[in-house]
Amino acid sequence: MLIDGTPGGTLSAADRGLHYGDGVFETIAILDGRPLLWDRHFHRLQSGCARLGIACPEFALLAGEADRLCGDSRRAVLKIIVTRGSGGRGYAPPEPQQPVRILSVHEWPDHPAAHVQDGVDAPWCGIRLARQPALAGLKHLNRLEQVLARSELASSGAPEGIMMDTGGLAIEGTMSNLFAVRGSELWTPDLSSCGVEGVVRAEILARAADWSLRPVIRAVTPDDLVSADEAFLTNSIIGIWPLRSIGGRALSRGPRATGIGRALAAAGAIVPP
Amino acid sequence: MLIDGTPGGTLSAADRGLHYGDGVFETIAILDGRPLLWDRHFHRLQSGCARLGIACPEFALLAGEADRLCGDSRRAVLKIIVTRGSGGRGYAPPEPQQPVRILSVHEWPDHPAAHVQDGVDAPWCGIRLARQPALAGLKHLNRLEQVLARSELASSGAPEGIMMDTGGLAIEGTMSNLFAVRGSELWTPDLSSCGVEGVVRAEILARAADWSLRPVIRAVTPDDLVSADEAFLTNSIIGIWPLRSIGGRALSRGPRATGIGRALAAAGAIVPP
């Protein structure tokens, strides 16, 4: 682990990341020593920092530190946290700020290959996502909704659960984004009120034409998913998991999820399963 | 600062308090070495931990550590953070958990005495509070809404700002609870969708009959505040600040805020101004 470039595993207990969740993070797949979708991850980190008014570390600095930590890893997960640092009177941000960056490397998780090949059965989570446009899209450190959602899944052993917002729209998985194929359209939920704008989601939206699909960002209802030609989940670590069922209702299966997963792996955007 | 009872100022950078805001906190006034409203603070810490599924430290343990830190302080602020500790796979809480407690003592803030005597002018914050019943009432570590609200106030120099929820109801200040007196009724916003259930708020609701007021927890609109006989803000550190205006609209003034403040100070519930 590197904290502001120095090896170590501890942080000031006065850090605002701890006190308020005042910061952002990235979870990045490392393949053969190289961070995948690095530009997209950095861009999101930068825009998240900008929205919270935190000075983002320079790309070259982060790239150098990532290489120190992961340059020798065949497959690994790199996590980058940027907080606003310590100080300030209560909630008020300090002036000037000294942001803190924390880079840590983690073992590649052993998700079963069957999740990619055969798909997953995902329950609906009981907890809903609150609608907060000021924080929507950001991968910030206020993640209690996801912690509670994940706690619900513990007893079922489900690998992922799907979250609605408080208005009943389907938004995302606890750790993944959601897509549905309908004819020649590729739907993914509008995240302007809640949810995290994933980098694999962005990559798929940008490449949709490669698969003769028209990307559509819109409100997606639970019924939209159930009546889709197929639906799937994405993130930087899992790649693409087709959805076999949601909340016990079987979904149609199609060839798109697998095809998109193979294309992304071939392009070096995700780790091949 | 005491971390799990040991003097020190650093914390594991793997702590879930940092990664997810996975924990709760208390901010407690210390007067002549004694934590005020200690039972209420502990009760809230305990019920917050219970709602998040975190094991709460024992009262005797916290009381002993508070005494070590603050026993000699005439006036001070004690902050207690309890996190779920380190570990877990992503958002999923670890099993078993090893919660971490962090006690720190801070200087008594130098809020102007005029805020208590003459009241404050509070703007409306632009950012709204999201409606999240699963987290409402809790003093948890996901506080980005308050950080952003407080950032808005920086340029105006206002000592506090009032927050609406996304539905346009008045909920609370960025660091305080809100009351309005209407005839013989004492209104305070319903916090079942968002907001923090303050200990001074609870104390005032419990004692309302002392002042011949009937406590009413209900939806409060901005117009309800402006047409009230008087309105005021409360928290453990500021005590009671009468509201002189909200968002530039003058409020009526009355004798209740000052009377309640004096009674609470006389009862040892808040620090006398």
SS3 of residue B149 by DSSP:
helix
Work out whether the CA dihedral A173, A176, A181, A185 comes out positive or negative.
positive
pLDDT at residue A155 tops 90? no
A93 part of contact set with chain B, CB < 8 Å: yes
Confidence (pTM): 0.98
Instruction: Give the CA distances from residue B260 to residues B160, B193, B256, B272, in Å, rounded to whole numbers and listed in that order.
Output: 20, 27, 6, 12
Query: What is the reported pLDDT for B155?
Result: 86
A50 touching B (Cβ < 8 Å): no
| Residue contact A81–B128, C-beta within 8 A | no
At B81 the pLDDT is 98
Across the interface, which of B8, B13, B143 has its CB nearest the CB of A21? B143
The closest CB to that of A147, out of B11, B93, B150, belongs to B93
Query: Of these residues, B26, B160, B172, B230, which one is catalytic?
Result: B172
Chain B residues close to A91, C-beta within 8 Å: 143, 146-147, 149-150, 174-175
Element (H, E) at A49: helix A38-52
Residue whose entry in the numeric block shows the structure tokens 């940092």:
B18
SS3 B168: coil
State whether residue A238 sits within 8 Å of chain B by CB.
no
B12 vs A9: CB contact, 8 Å cut-off? yes
| pLDDT tens digits along A224-241 | 999 999 999 999 999 999
Cα angle A92, A98, A101 (rounded to 5 degrees) comes to 115
Residue of B18, B53, B135 lying closest to A15 (CB–CB): B18
Which residue out of A26, A83, A139, A160 is catalytically annotated? A139
B172 catalytic per annotation: yes
* Residue B79 annotated to the active site: no
How far A5 CA lies from chain B's nearest CA (Å)? Answer: 14
Residues of chain B in contact with residue A127, where contact means CB-CB under 8 angstroms, are 134
Interchain contact, A19 vs B132, CB within 8 Å: no
Partners of residue A246 on adjacent β-strands: A122, A249
d(CA A9, CA A1): 6
Which two tokens mark B172? 């609370």
With contact defined as beta carbons under 8 Å apart, do B97 and B119 qualify?
no
Find, among A176, A170, A179, A191, the residue nearest to A229 by Cα. A179
Q: In the structure encoding, which two tokens stand for residue A23, read together?
A: 């910061």
pLDDT interval class at A89 (50, 70, 90):
confident
Q: Is A235 exposed, middle or buried (0-12, 13-18, 19+ CB in 10 A)?
A: buried
Min CA distance, B117 vs chain A (Å)?
22
Torsion of CA B40, B46, B52, B54, to 10 degrees: 150
* Residue B273 pLDDT: 86
Using the CB atoms, write b or e for B208-220: b if 16+ within 10 Å.
Answer: beeeebebeeeeb
- What is the percent of chain A with per-residue pLDDT over 70, rounded to a whole number? 100
Instruction: Tell me the residues of chain A between 163 and 182 that have a Cβ less than 8 Å away from chain B.
Output: 166, 174-175
A27 catalytically annotated? yes
pLDDT in tens, chain B (273 residues): 999 999 999 999 999 999 999 999 999 999 999 999 999 999 999 999 999 999 999 999 999 999 999 999 999 999 999 999 998 889 999 999 999 999 999 999 989 999 999 999 999 999 999 999 999 999 999 999 999 999 999 888 899 999 999 999 999 999 999 999 999 999 999 999 999 999 999 999 999 999 999 999 999 999 999 999 999 999 999 999 999 999 999 999 999 999 999 999 999 999 998
C-beta separation of B40 from B204 below 8 A: no
The per-residue pLDDT for B153 is: 95
Nearest to A20 among B13, B52, B141 (CB): B141
Shortest CA distance from A111: residue in chain B: B89
Q: Which residues, other chains included, contact B4 with Cβ-Cβ below 8 Å and sequence gap of 6+?
A: B100, B101
The answer to whether B21 faces chain A, any CB pair under 8 Å, is: yes
Q: Are A122 and A161 in contact (CB under 8 A)?
A: yes
Q: Indicate the pLDDT class of residue A32, thresholds 50, 70 and 90.
A: very high
CB B130 within 8 A of CB B165: yes
Q: What is the ipTM, given to two decimal places?
A: 0.97
List of chain A residues whose C-beta atoms are within 8 Å of the C-beta of residue B25:
19
Check if the beta carbon of residue B55 is closer than 8 Å to that of residue B99.
yes
Predicted pLDDT of residue B54: 98
> What does the pLDDT read at residue A22?
98
Do A150 and B10 make contact, defined as CB atoms within 8 angstroms? Answer: no
Interface touch A21/B130, C-beta < 8 Å: no
B-facing residues of A in 1-20 (CB < 8 A) are 1, 3, 8-20
Structure confidence by residue, pLDDT tens digits, B253-267? 999 999 999 999 999
